[in-house]
Amino acid sequence: MRGEKGGEGGKHSASSERTWRAIHAILPPGWHVRVEKPVRIPRRRSEPEPDVSVARGGVDDYEDHPGPEDVALVVEVTRSSAALDRKLVRVYGGGGIPVYWILNLPRRWLELYSSPVNGTYPIPTFLGETESVDLVIDGQVVGQIAVADLLPRR
């Protein structure tokens, strides 16, 4: 949705990789990690391509892209586009995506948006690099990930 993703640089790439690997390590059976793959949002012509997402089933289950009923989490890693990624809060919340993370590299924090009500996420939680985030899949906490494990080295 944001178009070309080439301008983010090495820290963005490293953090995207660290994020999908950390999530993959604790995912329960029946779910898989997708990297820069489209997510279908009802009533939208364009499909966002989050840096990382978690979808039900396996990679061969989607000839079409998964929608909110099959997506547990989307993650955007931002080095310079936090304002653009925050605009996606309305897209993902309005589309019924249960959890949206923005990994903010300059601030070294994770913005956590979850449980949209009538298409709107409540006020986000900000987690610093010394904190951990619950990985919630299908409404259940399946593990915790240290925010520091998602961020690039200093």
Q: Which residue has the higher pLDDT, 80 or 91?
A: 91
**Cβ count near 35 (within 10 Å):** 15
Contacts of 81 (CB under 8 A, 6+ apart): 2, 8
pLDDT reported for residue 132 = 98
Among 3.40.50.1000, 3.30.420.40, 3.90.1570.10, 3.60.70.12, what is the CATH number of 10-149?
3.90.1570.10
pLDDT tens digits for 29-42? 999 999 999 999 98
Return the pLDDT at 8.
Answer: 58
Average pLDDT for the chain: 91
Beta bridge mates, 136:
141
Interval 95-145: pLDDT, tens: 999 999 999 999 999 999 999 999 999 999 999 999 999 999 999 999 999
Q: SS3 of 57, please? A: coil
* SS3 sequence of 78-139: ECCCHHHHHHHHHHHHHCCCCEEEEEECCCCEEEEEECCECCECCCCEEEECCCEEEEEECC
